Amino acid sequence: MNPTPSLDDQQEMSFLDHLEALRWHIIRSAIAVVVFTTIVFLSKDFLFHDLILGPSRNDFWTYRMMCKLGKLLNPDGPCAEQVNFIIQNRTMSGQLAMHISSSFIMGIVLTFPYLFWELWRFVKPGLYPHERQNSRGAVLFVSILFILGILFGYFVAAPLSINFLASYTVDASIENQIDLQSYISTLTTMTLSCGFVFELPMIVFFLAKAGLITPEIMQVYRKHAIVVILVIAAVITPPDISSQIIVTIPVVLLYELSIRIARAVRRNDTARLNKELTNS
């Protein structure tokens, strides 16, 4: 038997019923995170050698593509600057701690679609029928945008940042020996930041449905939004203009897409209200 109260079958629930339902959503989510974290923890070689340490090696996919692009633009020129640094662990329990924390973060990333689905199951019964109808596919689109953001962060934003920071020197006599925690922190921050930034269209969708934002407001403040996007790109990327531009371009495109989403939301809401007035 399902211990969770059936929200879809009940019109009204008490405060304790809501707490009970929320408790089981949290328990199932926690179990999913633990299961995936354990699987990732046991896949140590793939997690670190192939995934986490991939951007630290010259044979990483992004660097090979940068090299090919450089050859296309200038056949006689050298490849793009290659990474050249040493990763070190400076504490006794550093590698074990990084193994556990990295497995946990990866477990959350892998279970993100399921976590959002559990959240949506809890929120959905409180919506009006037309709100449920208009929000169909929310879990799918949120998951797709998050995955696209993670892939963009891992294969584009993070490697460019790591390449720039690892190759930057103030004097040729100084050798870059990067701490393991610093390297993983840079990689995860860049990747996760892009994953959440790519949720902009869905955030605008829900704000437009709530009447908190309109396409006119977004158009009027477009220039201000671009400045904010540039600031965010400067925060999550190193002080390298090319990296900031590469991160800024897709976010600006997502902002333009969000304007069209807000316009479509208002058009659909207007059509629904007109239909209700006609039938009343």
Cα of 219 vs its chain's centroid, Å: 25
What's the whole-number mean pLDDT along residues 203-212?
87
- Residue 240 sits at φ, ψ, to 5 deg, of -125, 120
Q: Is 87 within 8 Å of 183 (Cβ atoms)?
A: yes
Distance CA 68, CA 141 (A): 33
Asked if residues 176 and 165 have their Cβ atoms less than 8 Å apart, the reply is no
Residues 232 and 238 sit within 8 Å (Cβ to Cβ): no
Does residue 9 carry a pLDDT above 50? no
pLDDT 10s digits, 259-270 = 999 998 888 777
Mean pLDDT for 179-191 is 92
pLDDT at residue number 218: 92
Beta-carbon contacts of residue 219 (< 8 Å; ≥ 6 apart) = 259
Q: Which of 101, 134, 106, 146 is nearest to 261 (CA)?
A: 134
Short-list 53, 36, 203, CA closest to 105: 36
The answer to whether the beta carbons of residues 206 and 156 sit under 8 Å apart is no
pTM: 0.85
Q: What span, in angstroms and rounded, lies between the C-alpha atoms of 65 and 144?
A: 24
pLDDT(40) > 90:
yes
Determine the Cα–Cα distance for residues 116 and 260; give it in Å rounded to an integer: 24
Least confident of 22-31, 58-67, 244-253, 265-274: 265-274
Band (pLDDT 50/70/90 cuts) for residue 10 is very low
- pLDDT of 12 reads 58
* Whole-number Å distance between alpha carbons of 28 and 119: 11
Question: Is-contact 179 88, C-beta < 8 A?
Answer: yes
Of the chain, the percentage scoring pLDDT greater than 70 comes to 88
Mean pLDDT over the full length of the chain: 85
Dihedral over Cα of 254, 148, 58, 66: its sign: negative
Amino acid identity, position 248: T
The model's pLDDT over 214-226, given as tens digits with 9 standing for 90+, comes to 889 999 999 999 9
- Which of 224, 158, 185 is CA-nearest to residue 87? 185
Query: Identity (one letter) of the amino acid at 232?
Result: I
Mean pLDDT of 25-36: 96
The pLDDT tens digits of the residues spanning 130-184 come to 667 767 788 999 999 999 999 999 999 888 888 888 877 888 888 888 999 999 9
Q: Left if phi > 0, otherwise alpha if psi is -120 to 50, otherwise beta: which for 81?
A: beta
Token pair listed for 146: 């998050």
> pLDDT-based confidence at 253, cuts 50/70/90?
very high
Model confidence band, residue 239 (pLDDT cutoffs 50, 70, 90): low
If phi > 0 it is left, if psi is from -120 to 50 it is alpha, else beta; for residue 60 that is: beta
Residues 6+ apart with CB under 8 A from 79: 66, 67, 70, 71
Alpha-carbon separation of residue 174 from 166, 171, 212, 280 (angstroms) = 12, 6, 53, 78
